[in-house]
């Protein structure tokens, strides 16, 4: 009988501890969703944007920013009444002061009434901590196809900035006079991250972008050599491409990873610049990744405890029906991609990525149980966790 009593007490204590831990998770807003896949490590999972919240039908096209001792920022398009890229669409932001465990209330960064504001791309100037956010504006009544065919007014390119870590934003400035050619139709910045390269005296802000001209999609960059006072265009980066991301390599060259337009190739398009983004040429010695007809995000991240060893990480759905967002890792400058982990098993699409100062990789993922656009989820994991599983 005494043994049974001791066993009962032990079980009761363990049960109480489990309940207490679960209570902490609920209090922190942590959810371990069945569709969020974690092999060897539970993922921190929260939802900054959920369809139907704050008067928006859905949220799409994520971008993310983080800096040491600064709020983590999640950007997206807030689509008011239509799922497509048309109609009343705003650029919205939610900030986190605890590295993604909880999120401040939604704020609107850019709203042009019934027009479409989209494709957020963010970059910070480390010399003055000013945070720049580029986006584009299209007539709300026009579809992308109509703008590509020049049957409606073209898309224009805009920028705003914050000097107080995203609490407030400047009045948006139209950059179209210097960063858009008259023959261009559709236009997109990023989406995702820009770059700062160089020094305080000779630094350059770089925002990857794309446009259409004569119905053909092409990538390019927006460049500023005076800390954002003026902006100009780079040369064309690649034909039949859109939604680019750019990373800095060890030799200070820039590699652009772009989505290949459907029907124009089966692999991602990669080009390299050796003059800080002004001109671009095809990449050599880089294992081209499959293109699953969706935006993909490539990010360069230093390994924990080092400042001269790094990995490249690429996230994209594992199939062309937009299911199973996966993170692939390359430890040899993109020559091979031997490691992979699934971040979301179910329907999923666009992603954004950054490393926070605690050494964790953070992704925003469009995902859901039945539809890729039910929410934009925040997933956080260690870089080392990606090395556990060999890529299929």
Question: Do both 24 and 41 map to the same domain?
Answer: no
368-387 average pLDDT score: 95
Into how many domains does the chain fold?
2
Lowest mean pLDDT among 56-65, 74-83, 298-307, 314-323: 298-307
The stretch 43-61 carries a mean pLDDT of: 95
**Same-domain status, 24 and 118:** no
pLDDT tens sequence across 147-190 = 999 999 999 999 999 999 999 999 999 999 999 999 999 999 99
> Which CATH number belongs to the domain containing residue 151 in this structure?
2.120.10.10
Confidence of residue 305 (pLDDT cuts 50, 70, 90): confident
DSSP, residue by residue, 319-384: STTSB-EEEEEESSTTS---EEEES-SSBEEEEEEEE-TTSEEEEEEEE-SS-TTSEEEEEEEETG
Tokens read off for 25: 């998770």
Same domain, 218 and 365: yes
**Residue 52 pLDDT greater than 70, yes or no:** yes
Domain shared by 130 and 196, yes or no = yes
Do 11 and 60 sit in the same domain of this protein? Answer: no
Are 4 and 153 contained in the same domain?
A: no
Asked if the model's pLDDT at residue 16 lies above 90, the reply is no
79 with 157, same domain? yes
For residues 24 and 42, membership in a common domain is answered with: no
Flag whether pLDDT at 85 surpasses 50. Answer: yes
pLDDT higher for 269 or 18?
269
Backbone angles phi and psi of 340, in degrees to 5? -160, 145
Judge if 344 and 360 occupy the same domain: yes
Q: 18: domain range? A: 1-30
Q: How far is CA 244 from CA 49, 290, 306, 389, in A?
A: 23, 15, 28, 27
Q: Is the pLDDT of residue 306 over 60?
A: yes
Cis peptide before 115 (omega within 30 of 0): no
Mean pLDDT of the chain: 89
110: CB partners within 8 A, 6+ apart: 90, 91, 117, 133, 135, 158, 160, 169, 172
Assign 42 a pLDDT band (cuts: 50, 70, 90): low
In this structure, the answer to whether residues 2 and 143 fall within a common structural domain is no
Query: pLDDT of 241-267, one tens digit each?
Result: 999 999 999 999 999 999 999 999 999
Residues 206 and 327 in one domain: yes
């Amino acid at each position: 009988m005494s043994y049974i009593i001791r066993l009962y007490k032990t079980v009761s204590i363990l049960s109480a501890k489990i309940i207490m831990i679960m209570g902490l998770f609920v209090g922190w807003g942590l959810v371990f969703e069945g569709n969020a896949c974690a092999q060897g490590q539970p993922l921190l999972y929260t939802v900054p944007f959920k369809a139907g919240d704050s008067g928006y039908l859905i949220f799409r096209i994520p971008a993310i920013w983080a800096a040491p001792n600064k709020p983590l920022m999640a950007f997206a398009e807030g689509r008011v009444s239509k799922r497509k890229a048309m109609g009343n669409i705003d650029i919205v932001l939610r900030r986190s002061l605890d590295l993604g465990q909880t999120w401040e209330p939604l704020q609107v960064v850019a709203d042009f009434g019934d027009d479409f504001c989209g494709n957020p791309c963010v970059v910070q100037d480390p010399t003055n901590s000013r945070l720049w956010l580029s986006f584009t504006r299209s007539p709300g009544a026009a579809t992308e196809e109509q703008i590509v065919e020049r049957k409606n007014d073209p898309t224009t390119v805009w920028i705003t900035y914050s000097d107080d870590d995203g609490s407030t934003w400047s009045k948006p400035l139209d950059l179209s006079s210097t960063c858009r050619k008259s023959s261009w139709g559709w236009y997109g910045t990023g989406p995702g991250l820009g770059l700062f390269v160089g020094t305080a005296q000779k630094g350059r802000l770089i925002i990857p972008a794309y446009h259409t001209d004569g119905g053909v999609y092409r990538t390019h960059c927006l460049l500023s050599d005076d800390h954002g006072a003026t902006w100009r265009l780079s040369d064309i980066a690649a034909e039949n491409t859109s939604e680019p991301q750019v990373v800095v390599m060890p030799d200070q060259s820039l590699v652009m990873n772009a989505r290949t337009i459907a029907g124009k190739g089966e692999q991602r398009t990669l080009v390299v610049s050796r003059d800080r983004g002004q001109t671009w040429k095809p990449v050599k010695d880089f294992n081209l990744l499959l293109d699953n007809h969706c935006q993909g995000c490539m990010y360069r991240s230093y390994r924990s405890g080092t400042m001269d060893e790094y990995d490249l990480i690429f996230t994209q759905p594992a199939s062309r029906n937009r299911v199973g967002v996966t993170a692939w890792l390359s430890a040899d400058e993109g020559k091979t991609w031997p490691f992979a982990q699934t971040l979301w098993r179910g329907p999923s699409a666009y992603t954004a990525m950054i490393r926070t100062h605690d050494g964790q990789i953070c992704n925003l993922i469009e995902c859901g149980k039945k539809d890729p656009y039910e929410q934009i989820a925040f997933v956080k994991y260690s870089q080392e966790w990606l090395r556990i599983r060999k890529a299929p």
